[in-house]
Chain A
C-alpha cells in the first residue's frame, strides 16, 4: 500500500495562478462489485496525475484501462455501490472529492468541474428544448435571474459556434445534427465557466472535420478561461495535435507520463511503444497489423530502461525482478526529469525518492 499523502505533491506555492495544479489525482483506486460473484473488479489501481490550468492532459489507453472511471470518479458519478473508492484522493481546490458529501458535490458538478461525453446523440434529454437544458445548468450554478441566464445561454451557444442561438434555444435535440449536439453539450459544460473540463472521448462519434472543429473550439475556450482539460481518448492523432501532457494507462494503472513531444519522440514503456506501433502507417503494405501484444511479448523491449524493469502484468514469474517486500509491485518512476514510467518496485527503486507525475508543461512553453 502506498501511503496516503494528500497534497504532498502540490507544486510550490507560486504567485502565478497557472503554476498550481487545478486537479490532482493521487494513488486513486476504485473497484466495483463483481455481479458474477468473483473478486471485486479493480477498475483503477493507484492512478496519479495532475492537471494544470490551460493544460490539456490526455489520458490514453485501451478500453477498460480505467480512463473513464478516473474521470467519472472526479465527478463522483460512480454509483456507489457497486463502485467504491478504495484509497487515494482527488484534490480539487484543496478538498478531496472522494470524501465530499453529495450536497457539496452538487455545486462542483457542472459548476466547477464539467464533463462532456462521447455520445452526443443520446446525451441530451429528448423531451426538453436545448434552451431548457442549458438554462437548467446555468440556474443551478449561477445566481442569476431567468433573463440573465438566457443571455448567458445565448452567449454560450455563440461561443461554441452555433449561429442564431436565440432561435435554436427553442429547438429540441432531435432537430440538431450530431456535431451540433456535441457543441450544445460543450456549451452546456462551459456555460458555468468550469475550472476543469473532463472530455470523455468528445469526438469519437463525430466525423473527422467536425472532430477538428470541436477540438479547435475547446482549445480556444481553454485559453480564454484558464481551464484545464482532461481529454480521454483512443485517438493518438487527437493526442498528438491537442495534448500538452500525456498519461498512458493500462489495467487501472498509469504506465507512462510525459509531455506530448517527448512521448511521441521516444516512448519508454513497452506498452506505449506497442500503442504507437499499432497505428497503421500510410504507404506501408502489411498482411497483418501490429498489435500491442506483438510488442509487449518481445523480452528485448523490457531491457531498454537502465536500472529498472518496466511493469507488465503478463511478464512470466521468473522474468520479474526481485520485488520490494510487502509493497505494491508497481511504482511510477521518474526515470528522467519529467518522464515517468511504471516499473516493478525493486528494492533499489524503493530506496529512491519518488515524485508523483506532475507536469506543468504546455505546448506554448516549447
Chain B
C-alpha cells in the first residue's frame, strides 16, 4: 500500500509538469504572447516612448524578454519546493523577498565603451540592528527605480540605434527586424563611424544608458549587501547551505493586481468553497436517493417523474437559469426575494453573527442568515443541473446490479427487499459513484466561472476569468497547478476508495 502510494505520487510529478508546460506554452503562443495583457495596461500612458519604456520595464520585471522555455524553467524553480541558490527572506507578515536581481551588462558595450570617469563605488556597509529593515526597504526601492530607469534607457538606445541604422542606408537597415526596430544582438561587431549621420544622437543615448546602468548596478550592489545582512529571517529549510533548500511553492505576483497570487487565492477560495460545500451535499442528498428509489421501482412514477424533471433541469443552460433567477427571483420589480449580486450585504461587517431582535423590537438577520440569503441563488444554479447525471448514474448502476446473480442469491437466502437493495445492490453500485464523487474536489477549487460571473461572486471562477481576460500568467498558472494537483490527488483518493469499496481491488500484490 505504502509503496503503491509512493509510486503514484512519484508519477504525479511528470504529469503535473506536463500539464503546466502545456498551459504555459498555450499562454506563450497566444496572440500577443504572455505580455499581451501588460501591453494593454501600459497603453494607458500617453507618450509612446514612455509606453515603450514602461513595457520594456514590465518585460524585464517578469522576465518576458527571455525565451519561453527559460521563463517556464524559472516558473518551475519558483513553484518547486526544492530551491537552488540563495534563499529568499521572509518578512514577519509572511511576504517573500527575493534577492535583488542581477543586471545584465549594457548592450554593445565594446562599441560604446565605458567613460573614463566611471569609478567603482566604495564598498557599502549596511547598518546593523533596527536601522537595517527601513534601510533595506529604501535600498530596495532605489534599486528598483534605478533598474527601471536603466531598462527604459536601453529601450531608448534601441530606438536611437534603429534610427541610426535607417540613416546608413540599406546595408544597415537590413539588420532591423520586420517592424523596423533594432535588436541589439544583430548589431554586434558593426562599425559605428563617428562621422556617420545621426551618430551623435546614438552616442548620447549610449552614454545615458551606460550612466544609468552604472547607477543601477551600484544601487543593486547596495541592496544586495543589505539583503545579505539579513533584515528578515531566511525562508525555508537549508539542505546544502547556500545551494539547495526546501521552501513552500511561490505562486508569484499577479501582473494585473501587483499582489501575491497566494493572497488572491486565499481571498477567493473560501468563497468558492462556501458555495460548493453547500451545493455538493444538496445534489448528492437529492440525486443518490432518487436514483436508488427510481431503480427499485423502475418505470414507476418516481422513476419517470424524476427522470423527466432532472433531464429537463439539466437541459436548461446555466447562463439562462442564472439570468432568469436574477430577473424574476431577485429583481425588485418581480419577486425580489433574493439579493442580485455579491456574497454579503454592504453592512455585513457590522452585523452580529446570529439573527437577533434589538431593543426597539427590530429584527436583524445577522451575518449567518445574510450570507445564506446571498448564496441561495448561486447554490440553486450550481445544483439544479447536477441531479440528472448523478441520479441517472446511480439508477443505471443499481439496475446493472439488480440482475446480478448474487442479488438472486441474496433473495433466495430470504434477505428482506430493503436489505437486498441497500446491502447488496447499492453497495455494489458504489464504484461509479466514487468516480463521480472525487470529481468534486477539483471542481470545488476551480469554482464555477459562469455562476460566479452572473452573481458577481468573488470566488475562484471570477479570479480565473479575470486572469484570462488580462492574460495574467501567474494567476492562470497557479490555478492550473493547484487544480492539476488536486485532480491527481482526487484520482488517487478514488483508487484508494475503490480498494475500500471492492475487496477485489488490492494494492498489496501489484
Interface residues of A (CB under 8 A from B): 75, 77, 102, 105-111, 114-115, 117, 119, 122-129, 136-137, 140-141, 172, 174, 185, 188-189
Could you say which of B416, B424, B502 contacts A106, with CB atoms under 8 Å apart?
A: B416
CA distance in complex: A54, B409 (Å): 24
Q: Using Cβ atoms and an 8 Å threshold, which residues of chain A touch B297? A: none
Confirm or deny: B428 has a beta carbon within 8 angstroms of a beta carbon on chain A.
yes
Q: Contact: B503 with A172, CB < 8 Å?
A: yes
CA distance in complex: A75, B414 (Å): 9
B425: min CB distance to chain A, Å? 10
Could you say which of B412, B427, B502, B503 contacts A115, with CB atoms under 8 Å apart?
A: B412
Q: Contact: B411 with A77, CB < 8 Å?
A: yes
- List the 6 closest pairs (A to B, CB-CB), nearest first: A110-B414, A110-B413, A109-B414, A122-B405, A125-B406, A172-B503
Confirm or deny: B404 has a beta carbon within 8 angstroms of a beta carbon on chain A.
yes
CA distance in complex: A221, B415 (Å): 24
Q: Please list 10 pairs of residues, one from A and one from B, whose beta carbons are closer than 8 Å in the complex, sorted by A's number.
A: A102-B417, A105-B414, A107-B414, A109-B412, A114-B412, A122-B405, A124-B406, A127-B501, A140-B415, A185-B409
Q: Using Cβ atoms and an 8 Å threshold, which residues of chain A touch B414? A: 105-111, 137, 140-141
Contacts of B424-445 to chain A: CB distance below 8 A: 424, 427-428
Q: Contact: B428 with A126, CB < 8 Å?
A: yes
Known: A111-B414, A136-B415. A126 touches B504 (CB 8 A): yes
Q: Using Cβ atoms and an 8 Å threshold, which residues of chain A touch B405? A: 117, 119, 122-123
B408: min CB distance to chain A, Å? 7
B77: min CB distance to chain A, Å? 47
Confirm or deny: B410 has a beta carbon within 8 angstroms of a beta carbon on chain A.
yes
Q: Contact: A126 with B412, CB < 8 Å?
A: no
Q: Contact: B416 with A122, CB < 8 Å?
A: no
Contacts of B360-390 to chain A: CB distance below 8 A: none
Q: Contact: A174 with B504, CB < 8 Å?
A: yes
Q: Using Cβ atoms and an 8 Å threshold, which residues of chain B touch A108? A: 414
Known: A174-B503, A174-B504. A123 touches B409 (CB 8 A): yes
B393-425 CB mask vs A (1 if < 8 Å, else 0) is 000000000001110111111111100000010
Known: A126-B428, A172-B503, A174-B504. A109 touches B413 (CB 8 A): yes
B76: min CB distance to chain A, Å? 43
Q: Using Cβ atoms and an 8 Å threshold, which residues of chain B touch A75? A: 411-412
Known: A102-B417, A106-B416, A174-B503. A126 touches B411 (CB 8 A): no
Q: Contact: A127 with B409, CB < 8 Å?
A: no
Known: A117-B405, A117-B408, A122-B405. A127 touches B503 (CB 8 A): yes
CA distance in complex: A77, B414 (Å): 10
Q: Contact: A127 with B427, CB < 8 Å?
A: yes
Could you say which of A122, A127, A140 contacts B413, with CB atoms under 8 Å apart?
A: A140
Q: Contact: B409 with A125, CB < 8 Å?
A: yes
Most buried by B among A117, A127, A174: A127
CA distance in complex: A79, B408 (Å): 11
A197: min CB distance to chain B, Å? 11
Known: A127-B503, A172-B503. A122 touches B406 (CB 8 A): yes
CA distance in complex: A67, B501 (Å): 37
Q: Contact: A122 with B411, CB < 8 Å?
A: no
B468: min CB distance to chain A, Å? 44
16 more A-B contacts (CB under 8 A) besides A117-B412, A128-B427, A185-B409? A75-B411, A77-B412, A105-B414, A107-B414, A108-B414, A109-B411, A109-B414, A110-B415, A115-B412, A117-B409, A122-B406, A125-B427, A127-B501, A129-B503, A137-B414, A140-B413
Q: Contact: A124 with B409, CB < 8 Å?
A: yes
Closest to A126 in B: B504
Closest to A191 in B: B413
Q: Using Cβ atoms and an 8 Å threshold, which residues of chain A touch B416? A: 106
Q: Using Cβ atoms and an 8 Å threshold, which residues of chain B touch A137? A: 413-414
Q: Using Cβ atoms and an 8 Å threshold, which residues of chain A touch B404? A: 122
Q: Contact: B504 with A123, CB < 8 Å?
A: no
CA distance in complex: A117, B413 (Å): 12
Q: Using Cβ atoms and an 8 Å threshold, which residues of chain B touch A141? A: 414
Closest to A115 in B: B412
Could you say which of B408, B410, B417, B503 contacts A126, with CB atoms under 8 Å apart?
A: B503
CA distance in complex: A106, B415 (Å): 7
CA distance in complex: A185, B409 (Å): 9
B404: min CB distance to chain A, Å? 7
Closest to A75 in B: B412
Closest to B412 in A: A115
Q: Using Cβ atoms and an 8 Å threshold, which residues of chain B touch A136? A: 410, 413, 415
Q: Using Cβ atoms and an 8 Å threshold, which residues of chain A touch B409? A: 117, 123-125, 185, 188
CA distance in complex: A109, B409 (Å): 10
A252: min CB distance to chain B, Å? 21
Q: Using Cβ atoms and an 8 Å threshold, which residues of chain A touch B428? A: 125-127
CA distance in complex: A140, B410 (Å): 11
Q: Using Cβ atoms and an 8 Å threshold, which residues of chain B touch A125? A: 406, 409-410, 424, 427-428
Closest to A134 in B: B413
Q: Using Cβ atoms and an 8 Å threshold, which residues of chain B touch A185? A: 409
Closest to A174 in B: B504
CA distance in complex: A106, B306 (Å): 31
B255: min CB distance to chain A, Å? 52
Closest to A111 in B: B414
Q: Contact: A123 with B503, CB < 8 Å?
A: no
B498: min CB distance to chain A, Å? 11
CA distance in complex: A166, B424 (Å): 24
CA distance in complex: A106, B418 (Å): 12
A113: min CB distance to chain B, Å? 9
Q: Contact: A188 with B503, CB < 8 Å?
A: no
Closest to B403 in A: A79
CA distance in complex: A188, B412 (Å): 10
Could you say which of A77, A111, A189 contacts B408, with CB atoms under 8 Å apart?
A: A77
B184-226 CB mask vs A (1 if < 8 Å, else 0) is 0000000000000000000000000000000000000000000
B165: min CB distance to chain A, Å? 78
B41-67 CB mask vs A (1 if < 8 Å, else 0) is 000000000000000000000000000
Could you say which of B412, B415, B417, B502 contacts A127, with CB atoms under 8 Å apart?
A: B502
Q: Using Cβ atoms and an 8 Å threshold, which residues of chain A touch B415? A: 110, 136, 140
CA distance in complex: A296, B183 (Å): 100
